[in-house]
Structure 1
Amino acid sequence: MTTDPDTGFSGAVRGAPRLLLRLEGAATAAAAILAYHHIDGGWGLFALLILAPDLSLLAYLAGPGAGAALYNAAHSYLAPALLAGIGLALGRQLPVAVALIWIAHIGIDRALGYGLKYAGGFGLTHLGRIGRRQADEDRGSSSD
């Protein structure tokens, strides 16, 4: 892994570990969706909330540091796992349903290559660079 001279970015996985992390995201999303179906959460609620974590992107209006921090908070499994645990402990279906939708969203994002963000810019993630430059690198038109 090399450091990008323009951004100083070098904190991303590559190769087989990157593929495994993306496959884990897909498996997590599939499991969350199946669990959601199993608890009969209601597909209207699912449709309403599946993109809700992406509202955290609005924090990028305050700059890349704030944007990355809020995006990462909304795209980490920690909060939905806590919410699911609380829902299970209290015997409440709604928090569990919301947590499963949230987990599904994160898993889908990870499967698509949208990882946790670095403060250096929106396109710098733990799963690699996203955007046009990454597409160029994937085609081999840029060197590391």
Structure 2
Amino acid sequence: MKTVLQLEYAALLLLGTFAFAATGWSWWWFLGLFFLPDLSMFGYIFSQKAGAWTYNLFHHLGLAVIVYFAGKYFSSTELELAGIILFSHSAFDRLLGYGLKYSDSFQNTHLGRIGKNRA
């Protein structure tokens, strides 16, 4: 099952990359903004619950799609770009096994435990 999920997330990352290519933005924007959603981990400074909430918000594929289509609807290339970056980054994280976080621990994700102490 893990391989099937990784293939699915690889396909989603490829979709996000193709969507970015269609925007006409320079590839430097894609590379420069790709890890920006990880700033949401700063929520963990306040608490596990706040960190999980902010991380999950900025790594939710559904939100990424909504932001992208909002950009289409409002003719905002910046919103489209934000949606594509959120989508692509989230697919990349999931491809690596980093899922949405539970509020009890950063290592506890919807895809299983991550890190050195996975047991």
TM over 0.5: yes
Which residue of 1 is the match for residue 25 of structure 2?
A: 41
In structure 1, how many angstroms separate the alpha carbons of the residues matched to 2:32 and 2:103? 29
Report the CA distance between 1:20 and its aligned residue: 2.7
Counting only pairs closer than 5 Å after superposition, residues 72-87 of structure 1 correspond to structure 2 as 72-87=56-71
In structure 2, how many angstroms separate the alpha carbons of the residues matched to 1:83 and 1:29? 17
Match of 1:91 among 71, 75, 87: 75
In structure 2, how many angstroms separate the alpha carbons of the residues matched to 1:79 and 1:56? 14
Report the CA distance between 1:82 and its aligned residue: 1.3
Q: Secondary structure at the match of 1:122?
A: strand
Corresponding letter in the other structure for 1:87 = G
Report the CA distance between 1:72 and its aligned residue: 0.5
Which residue of 1 is the match for residue 94 of structure 2?
A: 110
Report the CA distance between 1:47 and its aligned residue: 2.0
**RMSD over aligned Cα, in angstroms?**
1.4
Count matched residues.
Answer: 119
Which residue of 1 is the match for residue 41 of structure 2?
A: 57
Q: Secondary structure at the match of 1:123?
A: strand
Report the CA distance between 1:35 and its aligned residue: 1.3
The percent identity for this pair of structures is 34
Which residue of 1 is the match for residue 16 of structure 2?
A: 32
Q: Secondary structure at the match of 2:108?
A: strand
* Stretches of 4+ aligned residues off by more than 6 angstroms: none
Which fold has the larger relative contact order, with Cα–Cα distance below 8 Å and residues 6 or more apart in sequence? 1
